[in-house]
Structure 1
Amino acid sequence: MVSPPTSPFRAALMAVALASSAAVLPLVAMASPQPEPEAEARNRQIVTEAFDRWQAGGTTFFTDLLSPDVVWTIEGSGPSAGRFEGREPFIERAVRPFVSRLSTPIRPTNKTVWADGDHVIVNWDGVGTAKDGQAYANSYAWILRMQDGQAVEVTAFLDLAPYDDVLRRIPAPSPQ
């Protein structure tokens, strides 16, 4: 059983994620053959296990789960929103600039994972600490389209205000 949202932001995030998936998934279902139920269960397991490793301290989440040709879209407005084509450009332009400003990495604290065909939806909370000692906490909803055990498309929803605040507040490390 899914527990009710605990904040207005979380409620809005869930509504956006569910509405987005409700709008996208029927179109995908019409455009491509339905995968076998085993593939759906396997996709859910792959994503769940990747999150479990990350939560336990793993550091290879993105390289383990993302196809080298992934298209990652961060929805919203502001400097961090946008589309990234390829795993390395996404890591270089979105992941590294953020994590370089943290003294402790983001770790998922809880997650709910749903699978529907080739799509896996993960609603998760993450926490970490910025280099200035301030806590970072955010709620995320990611919609992943899986192919051959890797995510080939990801649409990410999150509150960009605290994310962008870390990028603005903490100077980028000097190149060495």
Structure 2
Amino acid sequence: MRIESLRNVRAAALCGALLLGALAPGMAHADADVETRNKQAVSQAFDRWAAGGNSFFRDILTPDVLWTIKGSGPSAGVYRGVDAFVAEAVQPFAARLSEPVRPVSKQVWADGEHVIIQWDGTGMARDGQPYRNSYAWIFRMRDGKAYEVSAYLDLPAYDDVLQRIPDPA
């Protein structure tokens, strides 16, 4: 290789390294901004729910969400779309409660496009028995809404309400 060509290759490599070095901090800053916005969107939706709101799932989920309840048992499974999830998992459970589940504590973390929320919730079943559960939900976010969710909870406590209390419908 001629010396002139070698100098051009070195100059191009140096320019590339300088450009990458100049862009990388901005990329990290952009990721931090997305994490902050996603964490804030989830936290605010939970705060509205805890204060008595009833539109949490429609507020924070995309219409085509893929919601997976992890574990084994009758309620574990995959729900495709917010309408299916609400109709098949949320409403049958909520119908068996005299007081809806409300978050009473939460911890929220964000990492890239993921928001992780660990929360405790309480409610009251129609038979007067309290319902308490602990949850960990992992949201994969896009444009401030979750489009994939992995949900972890004490499924026997959840399933107990579904089996113990008759469906009022």
Does the TM-score normalized on the shorter chain lie above 0.5? Answer: yes
Is 1:59 aligned to residue 54 of structure 2? yes
TM-score (norm 1): 0.79
Per the alignment, in what secondary structure is the counterpart of residue 36 of structure 1? helix
1:5 alignment partner in structure 2: none
Aligned letter for 1:101? R
Aligned partners of 1:150 and 1:43: how far apart in 2? 8
1:61 is displaced (CA, Å) by 0.2
Shift of 1:78: 0.5
Choose between structure 1 and 2: higher helix proportion.
2
| Residue 37 of structure 1: how far off its partner (Å) | 1.2
Q: Which residue identity lines up with residue 119 of structure 1 in the other structure?
A: H
5+ residue gaps in structure 2? 1-26
- Give the aligned residue type for 1:38: D
Q: 1:89 aligned to 71, 84, 92, which one?
A: 84
After superposition, give the CA deviation of every residue in 1:3-43 in whole Å (9 maximum; x if it has no partner): xxxxxxxxxxxxxxxxxxxxxxxxxxxxxx97621111000
Aligned to 1:166: 161
- Counterpart CA distance in 1 for 2:48 and 2:72 is 31
What are the Cα deviations for residues 72-110 of structure 1, in whole angstroms up to 9, with x where unaligned? 000000100000000000000000000000000000000
- In the alignment, the residues of structure 2 paired with residue 113 and residue 93 of structure 1 have an alpha-carbon distance, to the nearest angstrom, of 26
Residue 151 (str. 1) matches residue 157 (str. 2) = no
1:173 Cα deviation from its structure 2 partner: 1.3
% same residue:
61
The equivalent residue for 1:122 is 117
SS at match of 1:167: helix
Distance 1:149 1:125 in 2: 23
Please give the secondary structure, in 2, of the residue aligned with 1:132: coil
Letter in 2 for 1:145: R
Q: Which amino acid aligns with 1:128?
A: G
CA RMSD of aligned residues (A): 1.2
1:149 Cα deviation from its structure 2 partner: 1.0
Look up the SS of the partner of 1:162 in the other structure. helix
Q: Give the equivalent residue in structure 2 for 1:49.
A: 44
- Normalization by structure 2: what TM-score? 0.82
Determine which structure has more spread, i.e. the larger CA radius of gyration. Answer: 2
d(CA) in 1 for partners of 2:84, 2:74: 16
